[in-house]
A and B are shown apart, each in its own frame.
Chain A
Amino acid sequence: MSGAADIAGAPPATRPAVGTAVAAGVGRPAWSNLLFVLPYLVVLIVLLIVPLGLGIWLSFQDYDMLGGWNGSVGLDNFRNLLTDKIFLGTIRNTVWFVVMTTPAFVVIGLALALALNDTTRKSAFLRSVFFGASVLSVTIVTLIWRLVYLPDRGLLSDVFGLVGLHPIDPVVSTTWALPAIALVTVWWIIGLPMTLFLAALQQIPAEIYEAAALDRAGRWRTLVFVTLPSIRRTIVVVAVLEVILQFQLFGQALLITGGGPNNMSRPMVQFIYESGFRDLQLGFASAASQILFALMLLATFAQMWVGRRRDSA
């Protein structure tokens, strides 16, 4: 992002701080300047803020596409949700899924970044292999993996057969359904954490490694005491990002296992989808959405708080 600024020559002009969180603009204030942000603001209000408010309102209503609007029901929707076995199951599934995938993303992503952090053609090729899957859409990925998971004829059962083990069909297994989806997800999006870690690793100045070598630090000690501390912030960022993303698990579950067997792999978003768009219970679905939103915010803040505590430690 420095091309234009380089040629212009200057760092942004130093001017006395205006005292707001946002840096001062150029030129005098004018109402006409509002026109620049107005188009986007209109879109933001109509397509994000209004639905947000509407969703919150809906979650307190008994609103059914079939039965119509039957007035406010206060916290009934929430109460029903929190006693609904299936919904509680989806919360458990989603949280369990996040717990399964986030460490995998961080560890594997970091390992790949560490291993492929150089300028050789080999590494460039390998990086593009790992990243390539993430440009595919969820439906293509699920199609591929449904074929892989086909009982008797899929790649997985072929491989199991080769090794001499009895093949399992994860799609109909209550224990393996969710992990199977986790595997697909990690396969799909490992490119993102890998690239984020690569960027962070490249920010570490070479001199630190040279100093470590002069201090006769071996590979492992360098990793633990030099590299990892330098990218601690990025680790937190990646973890937070993955938590946010994986809480939104939907397509893979819907298309590979359908949420089964026995609701053991149904995530929260699928529940919202089904109650909102299949059962057409809008109030109920909105309440579920709010709970998902709240859980995500909670998880994000908790992580950031933990990350910050470690930073100052």
Chain B
Amino acid sequence: MNQPILQAEHIQMTYQKGSDMSQAVLKDLSLTVAPGEFLTIMGPSGSGKSTLLNILSTLMKPTAGDVTINGRDILNMNDKDMANFRNHDMGFIFQNYNLIESLSVAENIGLPLNLQKVPTKLTRERVQKVSALLNIQDLLKKYPAQLSGGQQQRVGAARALVHEPALIFGDEPTGALDSQNAREMMQYLMQINQEKLISILMVTHDAFSASFASRILFLTDGEISGELIRGAKSREAFYQEILQALGNFDE
């Protein structure tokens, strides 16, 4: 088997609450993302999924454990290497889009490439290409505030994709979208995953969005409590399976 794109081992995260009280949010959690995999982590609020995503995506350091992405130990990197790593190997898609509203759509998408000092001409070409993929080529001159939520999220996806990272992280990417826009967004993400072979790791509490993934991990109280693999099933069948699994958890 290929070397995993992401490997997390024995992750623990404990928050200090006062002097002698502490709360364990993540308890000895391990997981791997295989190359080209679309992994979704599902769990109710308070299950620790946001904390897990923040740790895996280098935004937060765990109390204990190891995280390796693309063969590199991300917990022992200096600021500069870390920035460089985020810039080259990772892409982010956020629930609230996180576009910079003082920049036009084209500038927002091109920003990761600017940071890499990619020549301007090449940046333009790649922005064009990725926006064609996400069907936002007509919006390039507009500003985020002039776009609908669905459009903004597609711009966010384009920005996460433009530098062709090894792994894209999604933090509830459909959380602020209506069902129609959520469906479109997930279809785009699936397309990116299948055509560009970019791995995706996404957290969500929405079963519909989760059904586009190839594998689902359920997180309860800081521990992995279950796993579903789509395999050759249709998306609809997988969706039913997820709902059933969630029903079982509730009982």
Q: Do A and B come from one complex?
A: no
